[in-house]
Amino acid sequence: MNELAIVEYLRKLAARANAARVVRGAPARPAPGKRDRRTVSGAQAASGLILGIGDDCAVVRPRAGEDLLFKSDQIVEDIHFRRGIAPAIVGQRALARALSDIAAMGGEPRLCLVSLTVPQDLGERFIRAFYRGLLAEARRTGTVLAGGDLAHAEKIYCDVCILGAVPKGQALRRDGARPGDAIFVSGSLGKPWDRRIEPRLELGRSLLGKATACMDISDGLALDLHRLCVASHVAAHVTAVPIHRGATLDRALHGGEDYELLFTMPASMRPPKGVMRIGTVVPAKHGKEGEVFFQGEPLPPRGYDHFQQPLQ
């Protein structure tokens, strides 16, 4: 495909994903646990997108009473995935990783921009399958594709830039955990890297006004809980972790790429269904903010570090 054909192709894809029939009276958001049955044109209207792919920029009109969330997330061949993975899964993961950060702030996704480079020999088939996976996830979550870029390079590389929104002043942050709070994770840890990611958007929204701190686990529980505790100037005692079937304890603690939510709540508050309590926030000793203990032993903040570890 030449560049013009690609732009046209993307425009058609986005048009198909973003614009369809309108259903009057469709709920602004699906009920918890229900599939999002709003039409995609409903998603486009809700996103605030006024002008999408085809002009120099997308135009978005913000709403009153909201804070906007911005995030970019990149995936690189041989760092985040191998070429053998189905292109549709690569596309799904590329968007879902960014959505997971929107979930971690308690937000709802609005728009995304997708920049993709592919080697010349992979060509059109890869691009189509990649976008099929990505746009299915976009539709499912009410995220509108508002633009992007395509180029050739030696490796597959994708950068997703996402815009989300949260009620003003209510974003779930990392810095609010207090001694005595209970610590939870939203699912099992140590999952394989070649699967779909399930961004915990509904759970994130349900935690607004309840969780004292929240983040998603992208680099492993040990490192991410350490980060949360540093931000909150506290320490943590972890007593147990839910290990994904077939994974080792080491991988569950340090492996990364889990995309579950890690959050804290006052211990007296009833947690949402399906989450697991893993420990308790404790005061940090002087100069030891961020210290994490697992079953009484110090847990080093070791996780997946792109600059230190090869892909396993």
Q: Which residues bind Mg ion (CB under 5 A)?
A: 101, 216, 218
Check the CA dihedral 170-106-255-135 and report its sign.
negative
Minimum distance of Mg ion from residue 74's CB (angstroms): 13
Residue with tokens 């505790």: 229
Using DSSP bridges, classify how beta strands 182-185 and 276-283 pair: parallel, antiparallel or unpaired.
antiparallel
Specify the residue, 181 or 216, whose C-beta has the smaller distance to Mg ion: 216
Minimum distance of Mg ion from residue 200's CB (angstroms): 11
Minimum distance of Mg ion from residue 104's CB (angstroms): 5
Specify the residue, 138 or 162, whose C-beta has the smaller distance to Mg ion: 162
Specify the residue, 216 or 260, whose C-beta has the smaller distance to Mg ion: 216
**Cα(228)–Cα(232) distance, integer angstroms:** 6
Specify the residue, 39 or 74, whose C-beta has the smaller distance to Mg ion: 74
Which of 182, 191, 258, 183 is closest to 220 using CA atoms?
258
Minimum distance of Mg ion from residue 258's CB (angstroms): 11
Minimum distance of Mg ion from residue 101's CB (angstroms): 4
Say how many Å lie between the first and final Cα of the chain, rounded. Answer: 34
Specify the residue, 38 or 200, whose C-beta has the smaller distance to Mg ion: 200
* CA trace torsion 286, 291, 297, 301 (10° rounding): -150
CA atoms within 13 A on the CB side of 22: 7
